[in-house]
Amino acid sequence: MTLSNLPPLVTVFGGSGFVGRHVVRALARRGYRIRVAVRRPDLAGFLQPIGGLGQISFVQANLRYRASVDRAVQGADHVVNCVGILFESGRNTFDSVQDFGARAVAEAARAAGATLTHVSAIGADVNSASSYGRTKGRAEKAILETKPDAIILRPSIIFGPEDGFFNKFAEMARFAPALPLIGGGHTKFQPVYVADVAEAVARSVDGTIDRGRIYELGGPEVLSFRQCLEMMLRIIDRKRSFVSLPFRIASMMGSVASLVPFIAPPLTADQVTLLRSDNIVSDEAKKEGRTIQAIGITPALAEVILPSYLVRYRPQGQFTRSGKAA
């Protein structure tokens, strides 16, 4: 095979993360050459078997260092940015990673003549009260100014084998007699399967999605925070009570938890701020055909997928007899 007929090269920033690994899998199945750009390539080797011999390569890159971003994008036909953080730690702040970093990727893609797909989040808004939502919003604005033909994907809460939502509360349910309902558990979500998000990214790389648009990705159901936890408890076959936790108290607890060094906080004040608003696909996106269904993907039901990986939280794992809730 000559250089002229090699498959297109796609650089995936954050390719070893929760969403990124599924994006790499979806792209590998299509035959793309994939360059995984991560801070620790030595910890990303688990991705190698996903593709064929030589199909997946690795490069060290940190969004806080522009030179490494330029190097990772060099020669790429398409760039995908899956990098995002849920809490700040050390030098990895929302500003440095989600604002400055996303701008750097967009500018590098423009310089390389590559197309760009950016994974953002529902709730991204330059005027958001949350630092997370505000920096996501600033990133989107900067990306579309830099690369007007970029595709931005805003998923609702994402579920899948490595997720940090259902796994977190299922693990909590193994030991805690009650689960917290922040703000009373009324916040609405539209859980979307990680493989469906990855498929949307892959289709953007294929060029089958209109460019220069923001798509909002939600699953087939709108569920409240409480309904999500109730579904999780049914699946892991455990009975737990709920304790309503007012936003103000939850925010104070999150502030204290964030002060503990070297430990990922179970909750932060900024996350509590996010929970004050629903996380669902907007009516505007539905009217304008900017949804996952408009892309041609039928999203999976959470209740169908969750048992495949939450089974380990049942009292006797896969051997738990249904109806014997603990």
- The full 3-state SS of the chain, as one line of letters, equals CCHHHCCCEEEEECCCCHHHHHHHHHHHHCCCEEEEEECCHHHCHHHHHHCCCCCEEEEECCCCCHHHHHHHHCCCCEEEECCCCCCCECCECHHHHHHHHHHHHHHHHHHHCCEEEEECCCCCCCCCCCHHHHHHHHHHHHHHHHCCCCEEEEECCEECCCCCCHHHHHHHHHHCCEEEEEHHHCCEECCEEHHHHHHHHHHHHHCCCCCCCEEEECCCCCEEHHHHHHHHHHHHCCCCEEEEECHHHHHHHHHHHCCCCCCCCCCCHHHHHHCCCCECCCHHHHHCCCEHHHHCCCCCCHHHHCHHHHHHHCCCHHHCCCCCCC
Q: Examine the pLDDT at 305 and tell me if it is beyond 90.
A: yes
Give 229's Cβ-side CA count (13 Å radius): 24
pLDDT of 232-273, one tens digit each?
999 999 999 999 999 999 999 888 877 766 567 788 899 999
For residue 306, being part of any structural domain is answered with no
Residue 265 is predicted with a pLDDT of 79
pLDDT range class, residue 226, cuts 50, 70, 90: very high
Rounded to two decimals, what is the model's pTM? 0.94
Give 45's Cβ-side CA count (13 Å radius): 2
Residue 321 is predicted with a pLDDT of 73
For residue 176, being part of any structural domain is answered with no
CA distance 70 to 13: 12
For residue 180, being part of any structural domain is answered with no
Q: Which CATH number covers residue 53?
A: 3.40.50.720
* Measured CA angle at 45 (ends 42, 51), to 5 deg: 145
Residues 153/215, Cβ–Cβ less than 8 Å? yes
pLDDT range class, residue 96, cuts 50, 70, 90: very high
pLDDT of 135-148, one tens digit each?
999 999 999 999 99
Nearest to 121 by CA among 155, 91, 72: 155
Q: Examine the pLDDT at 326 and tell me if it is beyond 90.
A: no
Residue 251 is predicted with a pLDDT of 92
Residue 233 is predicted with a pLDDT of 97
Residue 248 is predicted with a pLDDT of 94
173-194 average pLDDT score? 96
**Residue whose tokens read 């995936």:** 12
pLDDT of 1-54, one tens digit each?
445 688 999 999 999 999 999 999 999 999 999 999 999 999 999 999 999 999
How high is the mean pLDDT of the chain?
94
Q: Examine the pLDDT at 325 and tell me if it is beyond 90.
A: no
102-129 average pLDDT score? 97
Q: How far is CA 90 from CA 37, 102, 252, 308, in A?
A: 21, 19, 21, 35
For helices 194-206 and 18-29, angle between their N-to-C axes, nearest 10 degrees: 50
For residue 122, being part of any structural domain is answered with yes
For residue 269, being part of any structural domain is answered with no
For residue 30, being part of any structural domain is answered with yes
The type of residue at 5 is N
CA distance 216 to 205: 17
Backbone angles phi, psi at 143, to 5 degrees: -65, -45
Residue 319 is predicted with a pLDDT of 80
68-97 average pLDDT score? 93
**Considering its fold, how many domains does the chain have in total?**
1
For residue 299, being part of any structural domain is answered with no
Nearest to 295 by CA among 84, 151, 194, 160: 151
pLDDT range class, residue 318, cuts 50, 70, 90: confident
For residue 193, being part of any structural domain is answered with no
| Domain limits for position 70 | 3-149
| For the chain, percent of residues with pLDDT exceeding 70 | 96
Q: Examine the pLDDT at 108 and tell me if it is beyond 90.
A: yes
Here the tokens at position 212 are: 């220069």
Residue 90 is predicted with a pLDDT of 82
pLDDT range class, residue 187, cuts 50, 70, 90: very high
Residue 263 is predicted with a pLDDT of 65
